[in-house]
Each structure stands twice: as structure tokens, then as C-alpha cells.
Structure 1
Amino acid sequence: MRLLLFFLLAFQLTYAHKGTLSGIVKETDTDKPLPGATLLIQGKYAVSNDFGQFVFRDLESGASDLVVSAIGYHTQKVLVELIEDENTNLTLHLQRSNVSLEEIKINSVSPHKLNLISHLDIQVRPIQNSQEILRFVPGLLMGQHAGGGKAEQIFLRGFDIDHGTDILLSADGMPVNMVSHAHGQGYADLHFLIPELIESVSFQKGMYHADKGNFSTAGWVDFKTKNVLDRNIFKAEVGQFNTYRGLGALNILKKENQSAYMAGEYQYSDAYFDAPQKFNRYNFLSKYHVHWKNTSFNLSASTFGSTWNHSGQIPERAVASGMIGFFGAIDPTEGGETHRTNVNLQTSTLTSNHHIFKNQVYYTHYDFLLYSNFTFFLENPEFGDQIKQKENRNLFGYNGSYHIPHGKGEFSAGLNYRQDLTKDSELSNTHNKTQVLNAIMLGDIREANLGIYVDETFDLNAQWKLNLGLRYDYFFNRYLDHLDKGGKTSAGILLPKVNVYYSPTSTLQFYFNSGKGFHSNDTRVAVPQNGKEVLPAAYGTDLGVNAKLAPRLFVNAAYWNLWLDQEFVYVGDAGIVEPSGKTWRQGLDLSLRYELGKNLFLDTDLNWTRPRALEEEDHYIPLAPIFTSMGGLTYKRKEGLNGSLRYRYVADRPANEDNSIIAKGYFINDLQINYTKPSYQIGLSIQNLFDQRWKETQFNTLSRLRDEAEPVEEIHFTPGTPFSAKLSFSLFF
């Protein structure tokens, strides 16, 4: 009995005088909840949830300092008087500020959360459209090769991702990648977003999150648009090559708990090619947001359209012989148009026991038409090899998740459903965009994807955290072939995830990420194969470290490897997807962020990759990047001069399977300078500051020019932009 009384007394002494602290973090300017803020008290960390809420338990009673910080906000220190056996509730407000690397916190509370690109980065760095914001992801490079209206080609972690085969892109939770697309599997066009309306971009390299499914083998990126405008804006831009752009964004409702705005942009450019591009684009977005204490609601609608001509990829021999100039064209009738309309509804509810229930439904109508000529007169010496790729698509879906925080971590479960319906997806041979010579493929696609997942995060102790996830995806594919017999098939895949984090100090964190992912195959290929190789698996691991080597110096380094059971190569002019066998990639990523002085930042990313095609004799993967680097200097202030000088480098890489043909690398600099006042901003953007002559995208292609007796295999390229300057004026009110 005495022993029992001793333990009861010890238990009481251990847990006596404990208090609880809870509350909400908000933005000062908008009074909106601020998720992702880091809070520190008595050596314990917490992170605010989607509603800006936080809670600390088992705190020592008495006076303690609470430190609240978030990237892009002034850090706040509050003296809190904690009362034993009682809950102290606070409402905290953070004021926006310039980014400081001192605000980056390394802790074990939420290491599996997102890497973020802030709106402040987007404002200062030179970008021409929303797609270029992808370059902010460390190690990700892009190239345009068919006019400004076409989605850019993407490179990441030793992948030539084409237009999105191995990177999952989403915008406000809506899918951007198009399955079984007329121009290639996973085609991802982000041009329907207006750059000035992007609040933040979250990303991760690798397939380690259970809520991410198809296409996320190399990584994923999610764009989030603003719920409320900080201020109204009118913007005008004028640049070289007959380039113009106008933007307007207006709050039409701005109250304490609700807001609504409308925005639109129009852009025109002839671009730098010898044949004028006559590029037109329009974008409109309206968004309504309301939040109560325990519920938030977002409804948005947008529409986008673009038309353009382009010069395509040109052969090196045509330029060398003087047949065309460096910015010339073999087939100047190439071009396209595309349209996308979206309706998106998102809700988030905080239950009485602090569970979070999220729901989203969305609908997209999408049109695409593209005329291309890759081989010129190889197949048809009389009319040429121009092809037409066309589709009309309806896409709708649902995303739902339920999050349960508990004393030792958080449990989540979710469901994703997506349905794609296309009408008359077409591949045809054409002449001068006016005459259809013959149809190669024509049919309707019905593709459904159901994904379910569970995810559990365990706080093993103050230093160790374990994340376990399990996802299952099921696909149903049906092809209604108008030229031949169609069919249907189905397949499923199970995807486990294991992630471990160790944070021995407040400035150091080690992590091990591992998981299984996949990229789906085109319905038009999967159906004839009776379901074979519909969902080839991918396996990846990351072993890395995050370190604050100094208060204003942040470093991330990782060794990674990635295995694919089957890699696909899309052959657009034949309408087929060719399997290229098993591949294995390994690499090293190094990212450094250093605050050199007040408002002056240095960043650099170094990415080395060793990509290997395991079933090829020489093991080379055509166009897979070997070494890339990006970075620059950025000067940020709320008022006055701001600017960023950027660089991007791509080393030489193999263009074919035996490395006998080389895709040449490049080193390019861009510059952005802004002069900012509370009511206006003047900006100067320069692409290719030192006017380098470079090849933005390159392909090894077998082609024949009109007067050639035999075809020639060599590099075909799209020239990169020469020196290109653009002035902008923005009015805020």
C-alpha cells in the first residue's frame, strides 16, 4: 500500500501545475486564419492547422514567452500567464513582412508538411506566365518548343517528363495533368492561372505522400490561388517583339468573414521567330470565400483561351546551310488553340473534437487543337508530314479527406475520384491546317480513377517522427474506336509509403523517405494490350538532411534513387506509346539559401543525376538531364528598389540511346527590377540578359527536307529567346 501511495504521489507531482494553451493565428491585414505558423513555448513546438488553430498541453504554470513565426511575416513574442489545470486561449495576429531565413524553423512537429514558394518570391523573380513558376522548384527546368500557348516540356530528377508524364500538377486541388491526352499522357498546361493571383505553391520531389497518386513519380506541385486580394490592381505590360499584356483584379466584396473578387488578363505577342507567332491569350477568374469559426467555403469559376502559330523544331542542317535562319521555320503553318473552363467548390469543417473534414468537387471543360510537323517530308514527299491532334474533354471529380489529430500525432484518410470523358480524340495527317489527308486515330475515351488512402503520423518522442501511408488506386479504361474495334480494361495498384524524421537539435534534421508510385498508360494503348502495363510501378527513396548552419543559412541535401518497372515514350506523330523497359535513376540534390545581409538573398540548387535504361546496351536515356543548376541573387524590400538576377544551367546530355548525338547545354541569365510604392510599381523584366544564342529544347529526329533524297537523323531544336525586355506598370488601390 505504501508503494502504491508513493507512485500516486509521484504521479501527482509529475503532472501537477500543468496548463493548456490554445488559440488561433490570423493575418493582420485580412483577419483571415493563418495555417502553417510555427509556435514555440517552453521548448515545445506546434504548427497552426488549416483554421489557424493550435494547442499546447502539459505546460508548466506561470509566465512563459510564446514565439510565433511564419515565413513572410514579422515574428511575434507574447508573454503568456499559464494557470494550472486551466486552458489559456489567445488570438494572435501576424503582420506581413519581407522574408527572413531566420523564420525557417527546423523541428519534429510537421516535417512531412510542404515545401512552400511564397507570393513574395513570385513577385520579385522574373516570370512570363504561371507555368514558369515551376522553375522555383529546386532542380526543375522547363523548355518551350511549340509556341507560347502549348504546355512547356519539363525536366526533373533525370526525367525528360515531356509535358507531365512523371510530375503531378494541381491548382487549388483540381488536376492539371490530362490522362490519355491528344498530345501525350499527362499533358499539363498551367497557363489558365494568372501569376499575380497565386498565393503560394507547395511541392515535394518523390512519391512519398499517400494523398498523391498518378504521375507523382518524380514529384508533385500544387498551386493555391488567393482567397482575398490584398489590394486591387491594374497592370499594363509592353515588351519587344510586339508584346502586350493587360491585367485587372478587383475585390467586389471584402468583409470580416467573406470576400469575393474578379480578375482578367489579355496578352498578345508576335514573339522572336521569323514567322510571327500571333499569340493571343485571355484569362478570367472569379472567386468567393467565406469562413466562420469552424467552416471555410471557397467557390471559384474561371475560363481561359489561347491561339497561336509556331515554328516547331527545326533541323540543324537547315540552319547551317542557310536555308533558314536560327529563328526560322520549315513548316510555318504549325500552330494551335486551347480552351479550359473550371468550376471548383472546396469546403473545410472543423468538428467539435478538432477533427478536420475537407470536401471538394470540380468540373472542367477542355478543348485542344494542335498542328505539328516533326519529320517534314519523310512520310509524304508531296504534302508533307503535318499532323493534327485534337480533343474535346469533360472532366469532373471529388476529393475528400478526414484528419484526426491525437496525442501522439495525426491520422488521415481520404478518397479521390476522377472521371475523364473525351469526344472524337483525333490524330490525323493534314496539309496546311486546312486539308485532312487521312485519320490515324479517332475515338472516344472513358477513363475513371478511384483512389483511397490512409496516413498515420506518430510522434515517437521529441526528436523522432514516423509517417506511414497506404494508398490504393483503381482505373477503369474504355476506348470507343471510330476506326476499328475498341474495348475496355481495368487495373489496380497498392502504394505503401514509409517516412522517418529525426531532429536531434533545433537546427538539424535527418530524414528517410520511401514509397511506391506509378504513372498510368494511355487508354488507347492500355485497351489493345488487354490491360498489360496499364499501371507500371515506381519505387523511390530519399536520404537527406535539413540544416540551419547559421541563423540565416539553410541547406538541404539529399541522395535519392528511383526505379521504374516500365518507362513510356510517346510518339506523337504515330499516336502510340512505346515501352522502353526498366529504368533506374540515382542522384544528389543540394539546395542552399543564404541571407547575405538585410533584404539580400542568395540561392542556388545543384542537381546531379545518373539515369540508366537497364534493358539498353549502352544504358543511356535520351534527353535525360545529367547536371543542372539554378539560382541567383534577390533583393527584397516592401518599398523602393527590388530585384532578382537569376541563372539556369543545363549540361550537355545524350540525345539518343548510344550517346553518339549530344543535346548541347546552356547557361542563361534573367533579370527582374521593380520600383515599388504603396500605390504603384514599375517593373523591368529581361530574359536572356547577355543575349546568348541557345537551344531551348532539342530532339534527335529522323527527317527529310523537300529536296533531300535520303532522310537525316540529327538534332532538331527550338531556339531559345534572345535578349527580350518588357516594361510593366502596376497601380494598387
Structure 2
Amino acid sequence: MKFHTGRGPPAGLCGVSFSTRDGWSAHMVRANVRRNSLVGLTVLSLPLVSFAGGVPTTVIDEVIVTGRLDRLQGTPVSASQGVVTDEQLDLRPVLRTGELMEVVPGLIVTQHSGDGKANQFFLRGFNLDHGTDLATSVDGVPVNMPTHGHGQGYTDINFVIPELVQAIEYRKGTYYAETGNFSAAGAVNMRYRHKVDSPMFVVEGGQDNYKRGMAAASPEIGGGTLLVGLEYAQIDGPWVLEENYDKRNGLLRYTHGAGKDGQFSITAQAYEGDWRSTDQVPLRAVRSGEIDRFGFIDPTDGGSTHRYGLSVDWNASLGKGTTTGLLYAVDYNLNLISNFSYFTDAENGDQFQQVDDRRIYGGEWAWHRPFDWQGREQELTTGVQVRHDDIGKVGLYRTIARERFDTVREDAVKQTSYAVFSSLDTRWTDKLRTTVGLRADHFDFDVDANLAENSGSASDSLVSPKLAIVLGPWSKTEFFFDVGRGFHSNDARGTTIRVDPADGVTPAERVNPLVKALGTDVGLRTAIVPNTQFSVSLWSLDLDSELLFIGDAGTTEASRESERRGVEIAAIWNPIQWLIVDADLAWSKARFSDDDPAGDRIPGAVENVASVGVAIDHPSGWFGGARFRHFGKAPLIEDNSVRSEPTTLVNLEAGYRFAKRYKVSAAVYNVFDSKDSDITYFYESQLANESEPVEDIHFHPVEPRTVRVTVSASF
């Protein structure tokens, strides 16, 4: 790697230009440069080689520091994409692994159950449940699970080891040819590093019997580098019913080659988790004193899961361009026990079990070719993606204290998707560039159900055009216009269903296999204010009328055509060398767009989000970070007569590095001991002492003020 300083000062916030081995450029960077070493790096806008289902394997050959952050660089296609690297992630106090993803402006990550269950996501006016319209991947390997036992697009990233994450790349909207299923609201790729600078050990401890250890090393073997990472954590949490979350994680990655000669990596990953759940609880039970705010209704809720993965990725020169490739295989299992309505069945209770047992196989290949046409710079990207989910069992069962007594439905499903995509970047003049993209997707579904009437096959295809126009810069300001089609797939079981599996008689309506979304984005980014980068985006997203498959019931439920509009603002300020301040604000308006007397509000659509952070990395050895995070009210039913309350949290971390090898820090989460909620629902439930169901707010509280201490060492 080469490192050059320009005319700007040798320290402080700098504009950095990356030239990569494949001819792409990665720009729009903020960095702390101290004694010719890059110690803090965050890319705000980065056109990736391959992303969110692709192979993020760009290798930086050269870094050119061009001065303080007072100019625009790079070729992003929208104001809604970016990358955050590990140096900034290290300075964010994070209570749960999933909260790493909150580096995406406007994204809120919460939990409504045990920590071993997938997180709940909110973005751009969506309650995304566990990931329906947020495509998530790790090193290009998709995380979202279609036709999942609990929820379509289920996204569990508990297998990620935070210290080994090198960068988080995000793209919001429907404007990128490389992103497909589940990416209507956005796409996020978490990218692991290939090595650590030296062997490292991390030990953490805190309240509520929190214990965690992590070890990593990367010895040189056979001309390459072997990265080894191990993690173990045990968490009880503040709950009256101790969570007893037991988490075991391992990562092996062997990398050979670098630079213009190409690179090859093979990665093995293993994760196992077991836990007991305190799900959302009814407000009336807390107000009456029947249970504590952190109490429970059903003491036997919980789950277990595993994810074992193997992937191979590579990049190399091919003709006058470069090629990237990825192959992956995943063994996944989830056994989840839940009870959200308690005793509407007075005799047996309402507990149910959801099972998902599958193997996933897939890959991607892409080719990138820069060229000139009539004196204009061009970049052609073309590629293919394939994924096959072999779901041996996806089931829904009724249980009492985890013991099955009835099968609602049990299926074996095979689902395969194929995609081809291409994009052409053209710089027409110094003030005008365009990106034109086209994507074609085809899905095949085959369902073998326990009820013969619900078995069958289905297929669907969709073509998605994309367009981005970028104007400028003028006065260090660029303007963006983006439009594109996106989609999410529906559960395969909903594409072949004929009767309600609960009684085997009532007719059930089939879902549309692929649900189209149309997005637009008008934005700008500017560096006109000294030492500051600022971006704003006005966006819209329309979803077609659809039917949803409800995993908790094993059947379909009608939904409606919807439209969402919003504004997002992001700013970053580096007043002095060792201090960075960032702020993100987002407002959204989500409505059903058809006429219905029930109302036009979309339940769970959070209307505003705010995040402000401070990161400090002082030359004396002191470091730390603080974050203010707020998400506002949301309607809980269509007529807006019941609404959730806003949630505001402040997290703080401070520490000291000494002897160049050791680091000690303390973090305080929920500094002001907020009594707010992670999530709120409104529905009917029935307690044991009630004679009939009652409509009520059900909530999962934020964790109280919590202190954790971390000690780490490197050798």
C-alpha cells in the first residue's frame, strides 16, 4: 500500500483517494492521519466492486491523502450509500452485535425477544420485522432466509464477531444492479478482515452475569495468511427470567495473494446459540402489578440455532478487465418457542414452535471492464447470481411447555433463484455522469406440504431497470437523481397454498411470488463548509399490492398497496485532529395508498429517527465514544388511534491505551436509565385470569442502565 500526502496538513481530517487493482476508485473518505499512519477511516460514498450478494474483495493498492475534508471526490451513484470501517466501529458503544448495523444512517436495530433471536429492524418508514426489505450479507454471503420458519427474510447476524469486522457497506434504495431480493429499503454488507496486526485477546464482564471472551490471530502459513477467531459469551440480561444465552462462535479464513496478481480466500464459520426468551409483555399486566416490567408470562419460551458456513471468493485479471467470484454453502437450523397471546386457548395455551432446517448453496461471478468511448470514460459491469435453498423441514407446531401436541403444518421446500445483472457507468462531461443498470431475476418454488392440497410448484420472473444521474460538482457540491425497480420475494409456501392448514378446509388465497417496488431518490452531497461533509436525500418508495405469508399462523394475510416518502440528512464534522462528530436525521411518511375504512396508516412505521455521535482518539492514549439515539412515535393500528411512544437512549464508552499493547475501557448503556421500549405492538391477548381476549399494547422494554468493562491485549 502506498501512502501520499498532498498539499493539506499532515494530520487531521483528509480527503483520501483509493486506486484499486481493478481500476475502480473508492473516494469520499474521512480519516485521521497521524505520523503517516491511517488510524481512523470512514468511506461515506463508495462504488463497490461487488456488493450485497456479491464479492466485496477490492484490494487497496494506493492511498492518496489530498488534504482536509474540503472537497468532493469519487463516483457514488446516490447520496444514500457509504462504507464505515473498523476504526470508527471500534469507537461506538454497542450493547448487542446487531447494533453494529446502526452505522447505516436512519437504521434502528432493536430486539423483542431473547438475544439469540434475530433483531428487529426499522428503516425508511418500514417495520422490517427481521429483515423483509433489508438485504444483509457477510462477505457477500446472504444472511436473509426466504421461506423461513419464523418470518420471511429472517436475518440473524449473531454469528458475526465484531472485532473482526473490517467495514460495513450500505446502499439504500432500489438503484443498484448488483442488489436483488429483499433490498427495497436497502442493502448492508459486513466485511471481515483478512488478518489482524498481531494476536489479540479480549475479555469483557458486566452486570446481569455478562461474560464474554474473544481471541484472534493470523499467522503466515504456506505463503498466505490464516485468520483464526474464537468468541464465547454468556448473557442473563436484566430479565426476571434469566436469559441464559450461551453463544459460541468461530471463524477460520485463509487468504493467499494480493494486489494486481489477484487474491483467493476460503472462509469457514461456525455459530451455535441457546437461550430463554422474555418476549413482549402486555401493558395491563405490568400496570396491575401482576408482573414486573422485566417480567414474563410464559417461562418456557426460548430457542436454539446454529449456522455453519463455508465460502470461497477470488478476484483476478481477465482480459482488459477484472473478475470476481464467490461460492458458498451454509448449514442452518432454528428451533424457536414463542407465545405472544398466552391463553386464548384456555385449555392448552397459545405457545407454538417454529422449526427451520436447511442447506443453502450459491454463488456469484462478475466482470468489470473500464474503457473509453469517443473520449468518454466508461465502466461496464456484468454478472450472474445463483442461490438454492434446500429446506428439509420448515414447520409450525402447537406446544405446551415446549412439548408438541399438534402439527399446524410441516413442509419440505426447494427454492432456487437466478439473476443476471449489468450496469454501465459513463462520464459524459466533467459535470455529468450516468449509471444505467438492468437486472433480471427468476425464481422457482417447489413445496411438499403435509396437506397435499398445499403442495405444488410455482415460478415468477422480474426485470428491474435502474438509472442514476449525477450533476456537478459546483462549489464542492454534487447533485443526484436515482430511480429504479426493486422487489422482495414472498414465502414459497404462500405461492402454492390452497387451504388454511389450521383446519384443512377454509380456502386460502395465494401470494404473489415477487412483490415489485419502485424507488426514487433526489439528493446532494457537499463539502462547502470547511472540515465538514454534508448530504441530504429526498426519497420515495412504492410497493405493489401484495399478500403476505404469516409464519406464526402458517397461512396468508391480505396486505395493501403502500407508499413511503422521506428525507434523510447526514453530516460529519472534524473540528480538530482527534475528534469527529456525526449526526443523522431521518423523517418518513408511510401510508397505504388504497381506500379502506380501516385507515391508511401502516402499523409500526416509525416516523422520525435521530442519531448523534462523538468519537475521540486522543494522542495521549485516551479514547471513547458517545451516542444519542432516538426513534419517534409510530401508529400501531391503521386508524392511528393507538400509537407507540418515542424511545431515546444515550450510550457512553471511555478507555485508555497503554504500553502500545493493552487497552482498558468501560461502557455505560442507557446512561439516563430510560424506561422506554425497544418495540411496541397492539393486538389481542388473554391472560390466565381473564375470560376473553383483550386488545392491549404489548412491549419489550429497553434494558436498564448497564455497565460493562473490557480489557484487551495484543502481542
Q: Provide TM-score, normalisation by structure 2.
A: 0.89
Q: 1:452 aligns with which of 410, 413, 420?
A: 420
Cα distance in 2 for partners of 1:102, 1:27 equals 13
Deviation at 1:92, TM superposition (A): 7.3
Cα distance in 2 for partners of 1:490, 1:25 equals 50
Aligned position for 1:707: 689
Aligned position for 1:280: 246
Cα distance in 1 for partners of 2:88, 2:604 equals 30
Q: Please give the per-residue CA displacement for 1:16-37, whole angstroms capped at 9, x wherever unaligned.
A: xxxxxxxx74799xxxxxxxx9
Cα distance in 1 for partners of 2:227, 2:521 equals 41
Deviation at 1:424, TM superposition (A): 1.9
Q: Please give the per-residue CA displacement for 1:340-381, whole angstroms capped at 9, x wherever unaligned.
A: 00101001012352x011111000000101000010011x10
Kindly report which structure 2 residues correspond to 1:535-550, keeping only aligned pairs within 5 A, or say none. 535-550=514-529
Aligned position for 2:299: 332
Q: 1:466 to 1:196 in 2, by over 3 A?
A: same
Cα distance in 1 for partners of 2:98, 2:389 equals 23
Structure 1 unaligned regions, length at least 5: 1-23, 29-36, 40-45, 56-66, 78-90
Aligned position for 1:385: 350
Q: Say yes or no: does 1:670 pair with 2:636.
A: no
The alignment partner of 2:528 has SS state of strand
Q: 1:593 aligns with which of 572, 591, 596?
A: 572
Q: Say yes or no: does 1:656 pair with 2:624.
A: no
Counterpart residue type for residue 476 of structure 1: D
The alignment partner of 1:277 has SS state of coil
Q: 1:319 to 1:68 in 2, by over 3 A?
A: closer
Q: 1:76 to 1:373 in 2, by over 3 A?
A: same
Cα distance in 2 for partners of 1:239, 1:375 equals 33
Q: 2:139 aligns with which of 172, 182, 185?
A: 172
Deviation at 1:290, TM superposition (A): 1.1
Deviation at 1:670, TM superposition (A): 0.6
Deviation at 1:198, TM superposition (A): 0.3
Q: Say yes or no: does 1:609 pair with 2:592.
A: no
Aligned position for 1:153: 120
Q: Say yes or no: does 1:637 pair with 2:649.
A: no
Cα distance in 2 for partners of 1:478, 1:75 equals 60
Deviation at 1:551, TM superposition (A): 3.0
Cα distance in 1 for partners of 2:29, 2:209 equals 45
Q: Please give the per-residue CA displacement for 1:310-356, whole angstroms capped at 9, x wherever unaligned.
A: 11111000001110010000101100011000101001012352x01
Deviation at 1:49, TM superposition (A): 2.5
Aligned position for 1:140: 107
Q: Which piece of structure 1 moves more, 674-683 or 340-349?
A: 674-683
Kindly report which structure 2 residues correspond to 1:33-432, keeping only aligned pairs within 5 A, or say none. 47-50=18-21, 71=31, 102-103=68-69, 105-107=71-73, 109-111=75-77, 115-253=82-220, 258-292=224-258, 293-351=260-318, 353=320, 355-378=321-344, 380-407=345-372, 408-432=377-401
Q: 1:261 to 1:186 in 2, by over 3 A?
A: same
Q: Say yes or no: does 1:522 pair with 2:501.
A: no
Cα distance in 2 for partners of 1:325, 1:101 equals 56
Q: Say yes or no: does 1:721 pair with 2:703.
A: yes
Deviation at 1:602, TM superposition (A): 1.7
The alignment partner of 2:87 has SS state of helix
Deviation at 1:101, TM superposition (A): 9.7
The alignment partner of 1:319 has SS state of helix
Deviation at 1:76, TM superposition (A): 8.0
Deviation at 1:505, TM superposition (A): 3.1
Q: Please give the per-residue CA displacement for 1:624-663, whole angstroms capped at 9, x wherever unaligned.
A: 0111111122212365111111111111211111111111
Contact 1:237 1:727 in 2 (8 A): yes
Q: Say yes or no: does 1:556 pair with 2:524.
A: no
Aligned position for 1:468: 436
Aligned position for 1:62: none
Counterpart residue type for residue 245 of structure 2: F
Q: Which structure would you say has the larger Rg?
A: 1
Q: Please give the per-residue CA displacement for 1:684-733, whole angstroms capped at 9, x wherever unaligned.
A: 11110111111111111210111111211111011110001100100011
Cα distance in 2 for partners of 1:430, 1:254 equals 51
Q: Which piece of structure 1 moves more, 245-254 or 662-671?
A: 245-254
The alignment partner of 2:452 has SS state of coil
Deviation at 1:484, TM superposition (A): 3.1
Q: Which piece of structure 1 moves more, 514-523 or 577-586?
A: 577-586
Deviation at 1:566, TM superposition (A): 2.7
Q: 1:685 to 1:76 in 2, by over 3 A?
A: closer
Deviation at 1:54, TM superposition (A): 7.7
Contact 1:72 1:120 in 2 (8 A): no
Deviation at 1:574, TM superposition (A): 0.8
Counterpart residue type for residue 274 of structure 1: V
Q: 1:399 to 1:103 in 2, by over 3 A?
A: farther
Q: Provide TM-score, normalisation by structure 1.
A: 0.87
Contact 1:124 1:674 in 2 (8 A): no
Q: Say yes or no: does 1:680 pair with 2:662.
A: yes
The alignment partner of 1:646 has SS state of strand
Counterpart residue type for residue 443 of structure 2: F
Cα distance in 2 for partners of 1:519, 1:537 equals 7
Cα distance in 1 for partners of 2:335, 2:275 equals 11
Q: Please give the per-residue CA displacement for 1:38-63, whole angstroms capped at 9, x wherever unaligned.
A: 87xxxxxx7522558889xxxxxxxx
The alignment partner of 2:195 has SS state of coil
Q: Please give the per-residue CA displacement for 1:582-621, whole angstroms capped at 9, x wherever unaligned.
A: 0000011111111132312221111111100123332100
Q: Percent identity?
A: 30
Deviation at 1:423, TM superposition (A): 1.3
Kindly report which structure 2 residues correspond to 1:558-577, keeping only aligned pairs within 5 A, or say none. 558-567=537-546, 571-577=550-556
Q: 1:110 to 1:699 in 2, by over 3 A?
A: closer
Contact 1:491 1:531 in 2 (8 A): no
Counterpart residue type for residue 542 of structure 2: W
Cα distance in 2 for partners of 1:665, 1:272 equals 21
Q: 1:623 aligns with which of 585, 597, 604?
A: 604
Cα distance in 1 for partners of 2:25, 2:2 equals 8
Cα distance in 2 for partners of 1:432, 1:25 equals 61
Size of the aligned set, in residue pairs, is 665
Q: Which piece of structure 1 moves more, 145-154 or 505-514?
A: 505-514
Q: 1:141 to 1:109 in 2, by over 3 A?
A: closer
Q: Please give the per-residue CA displacement for 1:267-310, whole angstroms capped at 9, x wherever unaligned.
A: 00111000100110010001011115421101110100100001
Deviation at 1:523, TM superposition (A): 0.4
The alignment partner of 1:526 has SS state of helix
Contact 1:389 1:426 in 2 (8 A): yes
Aligned position for 1:488: 457
Deviation at 1:266, TM superposition (A): 0.2
Cα distance in 2 for partners of 1:123, 1:405 equals 35
